[in-house]
Structure 1
Amino acid sequence: MRRIGRRDIVVAILIALLAGAIVTSAPFQMLQGLSLDILTAMRGKLVGERREPATSPVVVVAIDGETYDTPPFKGSPTQTWTREIGRVLGSITEGGAKVIGFDVIFPSSIEQSEIPFGDMSVGSRMKGFDRDYLIALRQISDSGKLVLGEILSIDHAEVPYRAQQVAVRNTIRALNVYTDPDDVIRRMPLSFAIEGRSVPAMAVELAARALGAKPEIAPSGATELSGYAIPSAMPNTMTLNFRGLGRDVPTFSFADLRACVEKGDRDFFRRAFDGKVVLLGTVLNFEDRKLTSMRLSGGYDGTPAARCALPAPERGAQRPRSDVAGVFVHATVVRNLIERDAVTELGFPARSILTIAFALVIACAAGMLAPSGALIAWLGLTAVYAAMAVGAFVHALALPLTEPALASLAALAMMIGYRFVLADRDERFLRKSFALYLAPEVINTMVASGKMPALGGEMRNVTMFFSDLSGFSSIAETMTPGELVTLMNEYLSAMTDIIEGHGGYVDKYIGDSIVAMFGAPADDPAHARNAVHAALECHRKLAKLNADNPAFAGHGLSHRIGLNSGEAVVGNIGSRRRFNYTVMSDTVNVASRLEGANKYYGTAIMASETTMAQTGDTFAWRELDAIRVMGRGEAIRVFEPLAERGAESAEQTKVAAAYAEGLACWRAREFRKAVEAFDGAAKIDPPSSMFAERAKALTANPPPPEWTPVNTLEGK
Structure 2
Amino acid sequence: MRRIGGRDIGAAMVIALLAGAIFTSPPLYALQGLSLDILTAMRGKLIGDHRDPATSPVVVVAIDGETYDTPPFKGSPTLTWTREIGRVLGSITEGGAKVIGFDVIFPSSIEQSEIPFGEAPLGTRMKGFDRDYLIALRQISDAGKLVLGEILSNDHPDVPYRAQQLAVRNNIRALNVHTDADDVIRRMPLSFSVAGKPVPAMAVELAARALGTRPEIASSGATELSGYTIPGSVPNTLTLNFRGLGRDVPTFSFADLRACVEKGDRDFFRRAFDGKVVLLGTVLNFEDRKLTSMRLSGGHDGTPAARCALPAPASPAKARSDVAGVFVHAAAVRNLIERDAVTELGFPLRTILTIAFAAIVACAAGVLAPSGAVIAWLALSAAYAAAAVGAFVHALALPLTEPVLAGLAALAMMIGYRFVLADRDERFLRRSFAFYLAPEVIDTMVASGKMPALGGEMRNVTMFFSDLSGFSSVAETMTPGELVTLMNEYLSAMTDIIEGHGGYVDKYVGDSIVAMFGAPADDPAHARNAVRAALKCHEKLAELNASNPVFAGHGLSHRIGLNSGEAVVGNIGSRRRFNYTVMSDTVNVASRLEGANKYYGTAIMASETTMAQTGDTFAWRELDAIRVQGRGEAIRVFEPLAESGAESTEQTKVAAAYAEGLACWRAREFAKAADAFEMMAKTDPASALFAKRAKSLSANPPPPDWTPVNTLEGK
8 Å contact kept, 2:213–2:226: yes
**Alpha-carbon offset, residue 592 of structure 1:** 2.5
Instruction: Report SS of the residue matched to 2:669.
Output: helix
2:680 aligned with 1:680: no
8 Å contact kept, 1:655–1:681: no
8 Å contact kept, 1:2–1:447: no
**Alpha-carbon offset, residue 405 of structure 1:** 1.8
For residue 85 of structure 2, what is the amino acid of its counterpart? I
Deviation string 1:462-501 (CA, Å, 9 cap, x unpaired) is 4332211112223444556666555444433322221121
Measured in 1, the distance between the counterparts of 2:670 and 2:361 equals 71
Measured in 1, the distance between the counterparts of 2:611 and 2:15 equals 51
1:454 corresponds to: 452
1:75-90 correspondence runs (5 A) = 76-90=76-90
**Alpha-carbon offset, residue 144 of structure 1:** 1.1
8 Å contact kept, 2:505–2:513: yes
Measured in 1, the distance between the counterparts of 2:695 and 2:423 equals 65
Distance change in 2, residues 1:586/1:355 (3 Å): same
2:55 aligned with 1:59: no
2:505 aligned with 1:527: no
What value does the CA root-mean-square deviation take over the aligned residues?
3.7
8 Å contact kept, 2:437–2:580: no
1:82-121 correspondence runs (5 A) = 82-113=82-113
1:530-545 correspondence runs (5 A) = 530-545=529-544
2:329 aligned with 1:333: no
2:147 aligned with 1:151: no
2:192 corresponds to: 192
For residue 130 of structure 2, what is the amino acid of its counterpart? D
**TM-score with structure 2 length normalisation?**
0.87
Deviation string 1:211-256 (CA, Å, 9 cap, x unpaired) is 2233344566554433444333333322212122222222223333
Measured in 1, the distance between the counterparts of 2:413 and 2:481 equals 54
1:499-578 correspondence runs (5 A) = 499-549=498-548, 551-552=550-551, 555-565=554-564, 566-571=566-571, 573=573, 576=576
For residue 407 of structure 1, what is the amino acid of its counterpart? A
Measured in 1, the distance between the counterparts of 2:643 and 2:450 equals 32
- Give the aligned length: 709
2:132 corresponds to: 132
Deviation string 1:248-273 (CA, Å, 9 cap, x unpaired) is 22222333333433443333322332
Bigger drift between 443-452 and 589-598 goes to 443-452
Distance change in 2, residues 1:453/1:609 (3 Å): farther
**Alpha-carbon offset, residue 10 of structure 1:** 4.2
Deviation string 1:82-112 (CA, Å, 9 cap, x unpaired) is 3332222112111221110011223334444
8 Å contact kept, 1:662–1:673: no
Instruction: Report SS of the residue matched to 1:181.
Output: coil
2:317 aligned with 1:321: no
Measured in 1, the distance between the counterparts of 2:42 and 2:208 equals 32
Measured in 2, the distance between the counterparts of 1:180 and 1:86 equals 36
8 Å contact kept, 1:294–1:322: yes
Instruction: Report SS of the residue matched to 1:203.
Output: helix
1:150-299 correspondence runs (5 A) = 150-217=150-217, 222-299=222-299
Bigger drift between 139-148 and 335-344 goes to 335-344
Measured in 1, the distance between the counterparts of 2:154 and 2:425 equals 66
8 Å contact kept, 1:659–1:678: no
> Identity of paired residues, percent?
83
1:358 corresponds to: 357
8 Å contact kept, 1:457–1:573: no
Measured in 2, the distance between the counterparts of 1:174 and 1:19 equals 41
8 Å contact kept, 1:246–1:299: yes
Measured in 2, the distance between the counterparts of 1:677 and 1:143 equals 128
For residue 200 of structure 1, what is the amino acid of its counterpart? P
8 Å contact kept, 1:61–1:281: yes
Bigger drift between 41-50 and 680-689 goes to 680-689
**Alpha-carbon offset, residue 143 of structure 1:** 1.0
Bigger drift between 76-85 and 452-461 goes to 452-461
Measured in 2, the distance between the counterparts of 1:243 and 1:506 equals 68
Measured in 2, the distance between the counterparts of 1:42 and 1:666 equals 87
Instruction: Report SS of the residue matched to 1:359.
Output: helix
2:420 corresponds to: 421
**Alpha-carbon offset, residue 37 of structure 1:** 0.9
Instruction: Report SS of the residue matched to 2:101.
Output: strand
1:387 corresponds to: 386
1:410 corresponds to: 409
Instruction: Report SS of the residue matched to 2:714.
Output: coil
Deviation string 1:598-624 (CA, Å, 9 cap, x unpaired) is 223333223345544554554455555
For residue 169 of structure 2, what is the amino acid of its counterpart? R
Measured in 1, the distance between the counterparts of 2:450 and 2:684 equals 45
Measured in 1, the distance between the counterparts of 2:618 and 2:333 equals 83
1:698-709 correspondence runs (5 A) = 700=700, 702=702
**Alpha-carbon offset, residue 583 of structure 1:** 4.8
Deviation string 1:250-305 (CA, Å, 9 cap, x unpaired) is 22233333343344333332233222211111223332221100111121222333
Instruction: Report SS of the residue matched to 2:279.
Output: strand
Deviation string 1:390-424 (CA, Å, 9 cap, x unpaired) is 34333333333222321222222222223322333
8 Å contact kept, 1:445–1:522: no
**Alpha-carbon offset, residue 76 of structure 1:** 4.8
Distance change in 2, residues 1:347/1:674 (3 Å): farther
Measured in 1, the distance between the counterparts of 2:625 and 2:154 equals 108
For residue 37 of structure 2, what is the amino acid of its counterpart? D
For residue 98 of structure 1, what is the amino acid of its counterpart? K
Instruction: Report SS of the residue matched to 1:567.
Output: strand
Bigger drift between 331-340 and 552-561 goes to 552-561
Measured in 2, the distance between the counterparts of 1:691 and 1:313 equals 110
For residue 290 of structure 2, what is the amino acid of its counterpart? K
For residue 323 of structure 2, what is the amino acid of its counterpart? V
1:612-623 correspondence runs (5 A) = 612=611, 614-621=613-620
**Alpha-carbon offset, residue 662 of structure 1:** 7.0
Distance change in 2, residues 1:351/1:138 (3 Å): same
Q: Which runs of 5+ in 2 are unaligned?
A: none
Deviation string 1:350-406 (CA, Å, 9 cap, x unpaired) is 434443343334333333333223222332333333334334333333333222321
Distance change in 2, residues 1:247/1:572 (3 Å): farther
Measured in 1, the distance between the counterparts of 2:256 and 2:492 equals 92
Instruction: Report SS of the residue matched to 2:339.
Output: coil
Bigger drift between 451-460 and 266-275 goes to 451-460
8 Å contact kept, 1:110–1:126: yes
